[in-house]
């Protein structure tokens, strides 16, 4: 039997999804996009999964972009479908009701960086290289790169990466605000899992509230964003987890959140 194109590994409440085309530097062809979309849909509805970690197989790449060989052969209707599929996947990840952490273990280029930027947090290995090289192919980013990079790191970073097309080091990506942490290559998995496990111990409904409020806030005026925050805040008073979190503080013990 052939290897799955996306592998799934559960470590307690942390689900690790790995794009598994290392011989093609985990480039995103249609099958990979579809399989990832299904994997994220499944993670969204599986109550046992509290956090998702996304990474690429092998030592070299997170994801080196959309599959150029496949793209080269697409007809316009197929190109449109490819685009829709990619956009749908990125939105599904961004709107997942639980945190998604990208573990960037090597090249994150083009669609690969766009995929990492759709995740909620990014931890990069020191040796990782990140970029939007589409300009070198006579293209522009097509899975939301211009828009997410702009929102994540501002206009200077978006223009630097998209206009020049040259990959940047993980350290530079950190300086630009594109990645949250840069860690030694040998530490990448342990440090990423440590963050994921911390998230897995947190109150899921409150995590979801943060994701919803921050994402919605990026798209609206401050006043509306504050209204949204207030509504989310109020809703959490209906949860057992809020009673548990505040109760545990008062009783000087660690909380145990039940996702209720
Ligand atoms: N696609 C397909 N195959 C790729 C690939 C890619 N993006 N990147 C690497 N590979 C394949 C190589 O062809 C090679 O395959 P074989 O020849 O062994 O069969 C294998 O992976 C190993 O790669 P290299 O031999 O090139 O490895 P090196 O260490 O020499 O170089 C590299 C590593 C990452 C510098 C180099 O592979 C590279 O420059 N790769 C391309 C990076 C790139 O340009 N990425 C951006 C792709 S464009 C759209 C929406 C979004 C997009 C497109 C359309 N729509 C709205 C329709 C997104 C576009 C992109 O992501």
pLDDT per residue over 24-46, tens digit each? 999 999 999 999 999 999 999 99
Query: Is 70 exceeded by the pLDDT of residue 21?
Result: yes
Q: Is the CB of 109 under 6 A from ligand 1?
A: yes
Write down the catalytic residue from 70, 94, 126, 134: 134
Tell me whether residue 134 is one of the annotated catalytic residues: yes
Residue 256 maps to a domain? no
Q: Report the distance separating Cα 85 and Cα 70, nearest Å.
A: 14
> What is the enclosing helix (H) or strand (E) of 21?
none
Q: How far is the CA of 100 from the centre of ligand 1 (A)?
A: 24
Is 84 within 8 Å of 37 (Cβ atoms)? Answer: no
In a domain, 258, yes or no: no
What's the rounded Cα separation, in Å, for the pair 24 and 122? 22
CATH number, position 106: 3.90.226.10
Confidence of residue 64 (pLDDT cuts 50, 70, 90): very high
Whole-number pLDDT of residue 242: 96
Within a domain: 215: yes
Q: Does the structure show a pLDDT above 90 at 1?
A: no
Average pLDDT value for the chain: 96
User: Is 123 a pocket residue for ligand 1 (Cβ < 6 Å)?
Assistant: no
In a domain, 1, yes or no: no
**Please, is 253 exposed, middle or buried when counting C-beta atoms within 10 Å of its C-beta (0-12, 13-18, 19+)?**
exposed
Q: Which of 29, 64, 149 to mutate to test the pocket of ligand 1 (most atoms within 8 A of CB)?
A: 64
Q: Beta strand pairing status for 51-56 and 100-104? A: parallel
Give me the helix-helix angle, 222-236 and 204-217, nearest 10°: 170
| Confidence at residue 60, expressed as pLDDT on a 0 to 100 scale | 98
Do residues 221 and 114 both lie within one domain?
A: no
Residue 154's region, left for phi above 0, alpha for psi from -120 to 50, else beta, is left
The boundaries of the domain holding residue 109 are: 6-200
In a domain, 161, yes or no: yes
Closest CA to 18 of 61, 49, 47: 61
Closest CA to 134 of 110, 170, 104: 110
Per-residue pLDDT band for 2 (boundaries 50, 70, 90) equals: confident
**Mean pLDDT, to the nearest integer, of 146-167?**
97
220 and 179 co-located in one domain? no
Ligand 1 pocket check for 145: Cβ under 6 Å? no
122 and 232 fall within a common domain = no
Q: 70 and 169 share a domain?
A: yes
Residues 65, 191, single domain; the answer is yes
Share of the chain above pLDDT 90, in %: 97
User: Is residue 219 pLDDT above 80, yes or no?
Assistant: yes
Distance CA 144, CA 115 (A): 9
pTM: 0.96
Q: Decide if 259 is inside a domain.
A: no
Q: Are residues 172 and 220 in the same domain?
A: no
Backbone torsions φ then ψ of 220, nearest 5 degrees? -140, 175
pLDDT > 80? residue 8:
yes
Q: Is residue 237 part of a domain?
A: yes
Listing from the earlier edge strand, what are the strands of the sheet with 129-131? Answer: 61-63, 107-109, 129-131, 168-169
What is the number of domains present in the chain?
A: 2
Residues 140 and 239 grouped into a single domain:
no
Same domain for 151 and 123: yes
């Amino acid at each position: 039997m052939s290897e799955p194109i996306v592998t799934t590994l559960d470590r307690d409440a942390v689900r690790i999804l790995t794009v598994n085309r290392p011989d093609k530097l985990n480039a995103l062809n249609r099958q990979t996009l579809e399989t990832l979309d299904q994997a994220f849909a499944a993670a969204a509805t599986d109550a046992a999964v509290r956090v998702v970690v996304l990474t690429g197989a092998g030592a070299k790449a997170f994801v080196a972009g959309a599959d150029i060989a496949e793209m080269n052969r697409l007809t316009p209707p197929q190109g449109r479908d490819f685009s829709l599929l990619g956009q749908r996947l990125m939105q599904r990840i961004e709107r997942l009701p639980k945190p998604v952490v990208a573990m960037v273990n090597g090249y994150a280029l083009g669609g690969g960086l766009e995929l990492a930027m759709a995740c909620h947090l990014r931890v990069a290995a020191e040796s990782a290289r990140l970029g939007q090289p589409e300009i070198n192919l006579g293209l522009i980013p097509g899975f939301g790169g211009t828009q997410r990079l702009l929102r994540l790191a501002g206009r200077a970073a978006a223009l630097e990466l998209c206009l020049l097309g040259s990959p940047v080091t993980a350290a530079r990506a950190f300086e630009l605000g594109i990645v949250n942490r840069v860690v030694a290559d040998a530490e990448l998995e342990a440090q990423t899992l440590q963050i994921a496990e911390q998230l897995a111990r947190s109150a899921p409904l409150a995590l979801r509230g943060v994701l919803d409020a921050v994402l919605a806030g990026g798209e609206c005026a401050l006043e509306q964003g504050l209204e949204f925050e207030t509504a989310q805040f109020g809703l959490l008073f209906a949860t057992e987890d809020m009673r548990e979190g505040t109760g545990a503080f008062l009783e000087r013990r660690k909380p145990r959140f039940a996702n209720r």
